[in-house]
Amino acid sequence: MAKGAVARGGDPLAALTPAMNAGVLAGLTASRSTEALLLVLDGSGSMVGAPWAELREAVEELARRSSRARCCMGLVVFGGTADLCASFTDDFELVAATLPAGAPGGGTGVREALTLAGSLPWPAGARRVVLMSDGMPTTGDPIPAAAHLAGLGVVIDTVACGMGADEEVLRALAETGHGRFVPCNRVGDLTRVFAALETRVRGLLP
């Protein structure tokens, strides 16, 4: 199993309790008050219906619990194409409200989503993407876009949601972005996974 991963069906918190080196942890501690977090969420055809409703609940819960003193947040949603729903702001409820009522559908444009993320005016300080997908990229290789983000100092955490997610690609994206890869059995578990990422790794939740 790759370093930093957790077995499917295991506790996602286990992957987020430090296998990190002391230098990385020191950097995270120093940057907690200034982190820019971009949620990059899969809205492809397989997310239509109940999965999208569960994803909305997870994002709304993250918005309720996040600390304005510790980060700002933005939102990108992708299907066959990618759209910026919310620019970076400390109004987390506004970010959650910009999530479309229904999944856009179509393909799984991971490359387009990361390319869009790389074109954004990121705030100064620590920068991070949390990318969630339940499928396989359908629009080309996303690794170059991830490498571009890494060159901008953006950490990329990835969440593989469900059995249809391309774990190999999502793990490679996390490695390219010097982040964490976390498997998630189903969309309904995302509230817990998002909370695990924020509390155990970044310390963004109170």
SS3 of residue 9 by DSSP: coil
Tokens of 5: 């991963």
Query: What is the rounded (10 degree) CA torsion for 76, 37, 165, 10?
Result: -150
pLDDT band at 67; cut points 50, 70, 90: confident
Whole-number percent of the chain with pLDDT over 90: 69
Greatest mean pLDDT among 21-30, 68-77, 141-150: 141-150
Q: What is the mean pLDDT of residues 65-92?
A: 93
- How far is the C-alpha of 132 from the C-alpha of 42, rounded, in Å? 6
How many C-beta atoms lie closer than 10 Å to residue 168's C-beta? 11
**Angle subtended at Cα 4 by Cα 60 and Cα 194, rounded to the nearest 5 degrees:** 5
- How far is the C-alpha of 159 from the C-alpha of 133, rounded, in Å? 7
pLDDT of 80-134, one tens digit each? 999 999 999 999 999 999 999 999 999 999 999 999 999 999 998 899 999 999 9
pLDDT number for residue 36: 92
Characterize the bridge pairing of strands 35-42 and 127-133. Answer: parallel
**204 vs 193, which has greater pLDDT?**
193
Distant-in-sequence, close-in-space partners of 97: CB < 8 Å, separation ≥ 6: none
Closest CA to 34 of 104, 122, 98: 122
**164 vs 203, which has greater pLDDT?**
164
pLDDT number for residue 197: 79
DSSP string, 160-205: EESTTS-HHHHHHHHHHTT--EEEESSGGGHHHHHHHIIIIII---
The lowest-confidence range among 16-30, 42-56, 120-134, 153-167 is 16-30
- How far is the C-alpha of 186 from the C-alpha of 25, rounded, in Å? 29
pLDDT of 15-30, one tens digit each? 443 333 333 333 333 4
pLDDT number for residue 30: 40
Beta bridge partners of 127: 36, 154
CB 20 within 8 A of CB 178: no
Beta bridge partners of 38: 74, 129
**Residue keyed to tokens 């995270």:** 28
CB 103 within 8 A of CB 134: no
Check whether 44 has a pLDDT greater than 70: yes
- How far is the C-alpha of 200 from the C-alpha of 30, rounded, in Å? 15
Element (H, E) at 122: none
Closest CA to 88 of 154, 146, 137: 154
Which CATH class for the 35-199 domain?
alpha beta
Average pLDDT, the chain: 84
